[in-house]
């Protein structure tokens, strides 16, 4: 069977035995990831790019239409990261420039190498979700997506947080436990068409655990996993460290059905349990904030934008939490003696949550890409670029956005169908099955109402 037919079968089939190992079909991918100098080049380029963003934001013009740093971050980089989640999982985190300063300090011996405290391991997820909420709130209320200085300070604050953690703890503790972008990337990676996994048969009997601890002066896994410890897409950065450390050729990069992990985890991941309701609630709030009705309500209530959006954000979060709890009630089961408590509606809503984020960021891209080159022209006095402005019409963007959201809703119904055929067979009544599908449909209508 030729590779592309096997690839299609991997994407469609729910049988995990059908997954295609891309390292075996395309050895060049493995060689590229294993060559550490490739990552060094990419991360150096990223460091330089972010340094340019910071300098331009702090010392360049303070108008968004005269400073390219704003659209570069919010209109190009952020939408690109969101899009990458669906294909490469957390691979962006493997080349992310944010931990660069911390890694540099550690290599210079400026780290205490303290063990990561239990409180951080246990409660880091709550802190990172709170930081994500804070970033989105500040982005909207303070207008970071229109502020060169604010954008630069956001970048610097994340770099500083990562560096401080690197001084106290080994590896990339910030990336594993606190980074808000890493946390949302990990949750989104559960929807990726690829997964990095070990071949457990090859790992069996290993005594060195070099992929985790490191060998011969080479660093081990920066997030304390090692290839043998990867069980899901939440934490693995797909950074390639373990490829050169494993002498058993265990690591695999598998092409898979993008919903297989969601069906398998059934809502057990605590990260997704908090990320999903916040994302959906915040997206509905963010989309609605652009409507004329929102401005009229603010004027009628004599309420400042910051307070109105904050209330809307909280209301959206509580609404989705309520939907998830009601959905769990409809399933009639929320605890298993083998793996504990779970929220079955969370994986059903994950496709809509992350396609919603893609749509929101895509609209930012479409709304600003036509003025990107003219902005560079205005900033650096290049008159020839100022004449290259164009505008993408609203209708194609809205139609494409609706298409994405429809696919997210269909994916949710597919996961529900898989649940009812497999793990929850005979447990979900037909009436409840229909009600859950109606909930997905009405949530889709809510998205379409605020998008259009």
DSSP for 354-407 reads HHHHHHHHHHHHHHHGGGHHHHHHHHHT-HHHHT------HHHHHHHHHHHHHH
Same domain, 26 and 92: yes
Pick from 203, 232, 258: which residue ends a domain?
A: 258
Mean pLDDT of the chain: 91
Q: Is 44 helix (H, G, I), strand (E, B) or coil?
A: helix
CA dihedral 240, 241, 244, 246 (to 10 degrees): -100
H or E, element range at 306 = helix 305-331
Query: Three-state secondary structure along 143-212?
Result: CHHHCHHHHHHHHHHHHHHHHHHHHHCCCCHHHHHHCHHHHHHHHHHCCCCEEEECCHHHHCCCCCCHHH
Same domain, 340 and 415: yes
Pick from 232, 258, 284: which residue ends a domain?
A: 258
What does the pLDDT read at residue 341? Answer: 79
Same domain, 301 and 228: no
Same domain, 149 and 52: yes
Question: 315-342 pLDDT, tens per residue?
Answer: 999 999 999 999 989 988 777 766 677 8
Give domain status of residue 4, yes or no.
Answer: no
Task: For the chain, state the CA radius of gyration.
Answer: 23
Give domain status of residue 265, yes or no.
Answer: no
Same domain, 155 and 227: yes
Look up residue 307 and give its two tokens: 């307070």
Write phi, then psi, for 206 (nearest 5 degrees): -65, 135
What does the pLDDT read at residue 14? Answer: 83
Each residue's pLDDT, cut to its tens digit, for the chain (452 residues) gives 577 788 888 888 888 888 999 999 999 999 998 888 888 888 888 889 989 999 999 999 999 999 999 999 999 999 999 999 999 999 998 888 899 889 899 989 888 989 999 999 888 889 998 999 999 999 999 899 899 999 999 999 999 999 999 999 998 999 989 999 999 999 999 999 999 999 988 888 888 888 888 887 788 888 888 888 899 999 999 988 889 888 888 999 999 999 999 998 888 888 888 899 999 999 999 999 988 999 999 999 999 999 999 999 999 999 999 999 999 899 887 777 666 778 899 999 999 999 999 999 999 999 999 999 999 999 999 999 999 999 999 999 999 999 999 999 999 999 999 999 888 888 889 999 999 999 999 999 999 999 88
Give domain status of residue 2, yes or no.
Answer: no
Same domain, 421 and 370: yes
Same domain, 279 and 420: yes
CA dist., res. 392 & res. 350, Å (int): 29
Question: Which residues, listed in sequence order, are joined to residue 172 by a DSSP beta bridge?
Answer: none
Give domain status of residue 263, yes or no.
Answer: no
Pick from 258, 283, 310: which residue ends a domain?
A: 258
Give domain status of residue 400, yes or no.
Answer: yes
Same domain, 147 and 60: yes
Give domain status of residue 264, yes or no.
Answer: no
How many domains are contained in the chain?
Answer: 2
Domain that holds residue 143: 9-258
Same domain, 138 and 217: yes
Residues comprising the chain, all counted: 452
pTM above 0.85, yes or no: yes
């Amino acid at each position: 069977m030729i590779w592309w037919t096997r690839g299609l079968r991997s994407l469609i089939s729910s049988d995990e035995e059908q997954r295609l190992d891309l390292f075996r079909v395309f050895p060049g991918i493995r060689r590229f990831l294993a060559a550490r100098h490739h990552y060094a080049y990419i991360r150096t380029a990223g460091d330089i790019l972010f340094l340019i963003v910071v300098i331009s934001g702090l010392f360049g013009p303070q108008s968004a239409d005269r400073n390219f740093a704003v659209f570069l971050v919010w209109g190009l980089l952020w939408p690109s990261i969101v899009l990458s989640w669906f294909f490469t999982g957390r691979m962006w985190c493997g080349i992310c420039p944010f931990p660069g300063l911390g890694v540099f300090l550690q290599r210079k011996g400026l780290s205490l190498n303290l063990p990561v405290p239990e409180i951080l391991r246990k409660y880091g997820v709550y802190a990172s979700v709170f930081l994500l909420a804070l970033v989105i709130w500040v982005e909207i209320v303070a207008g970071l997506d229109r502020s060169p200085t604010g954008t630069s300070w956001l970048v610097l604050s994340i770099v500083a947080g990562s560096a401080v953690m690197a001084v106290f703890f080994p590896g990339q503790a910030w990336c594993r436990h606190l980074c808000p972008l890493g946390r949302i990337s990990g949750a989104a990676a559960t929807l990726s068409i690829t997964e990095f996994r070990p071949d457990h048969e090859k790992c069996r009997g290993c005594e060195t655990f070099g992929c985790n601890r490191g060998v011969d002066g080479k660093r081990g896994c920066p997030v304390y996993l090692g290839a043998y410890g990867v069980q899901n897409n939440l934490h693995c950065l797909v950074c390639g460290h373990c490829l050169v450390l494993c002498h058993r050729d265990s690591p695999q990069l598998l092409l898979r059905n993008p919903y297989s992990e969601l069906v398998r985890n059934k809502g057990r991941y605590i990260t997704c349990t908090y990320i999903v309701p916040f994302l959906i609630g915040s997206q509905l709030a963010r989309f609605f904030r652009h409507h004329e009705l929102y401005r009229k309500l603010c004027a009628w209530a004599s309420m400042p934008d910051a307070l109105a959006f904050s209330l809307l954000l909280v209301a959206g979060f509580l609404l989705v939490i309520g939907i998830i709890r009601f959905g769990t009630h409809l399933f009639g089961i929320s605890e298993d003696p083998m793996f504990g408590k779970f929220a079955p509606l969370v994986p059903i809503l994950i496709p809509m949550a992350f396609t919603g984020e893609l749509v929101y960021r895509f609209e930012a891209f479409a709304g600003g890409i036509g003025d990107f080159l003219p902005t560079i022209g205005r900033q650096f006095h290049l008159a020839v670029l100022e004449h290259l402005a164009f505008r993408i019409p609203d209708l194609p963007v809205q139609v494409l956005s609706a298409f994405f959201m429809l696919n997210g809703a269909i994916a949710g119904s597919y996961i529900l169908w898989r649940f009812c055929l497999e793990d929850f067979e005979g447990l979900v009544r037909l009436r409840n099955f229909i009600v859950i599908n109606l909930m997905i449909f009405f949530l889709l209508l809510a998205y379409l109402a605020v998008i259009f």
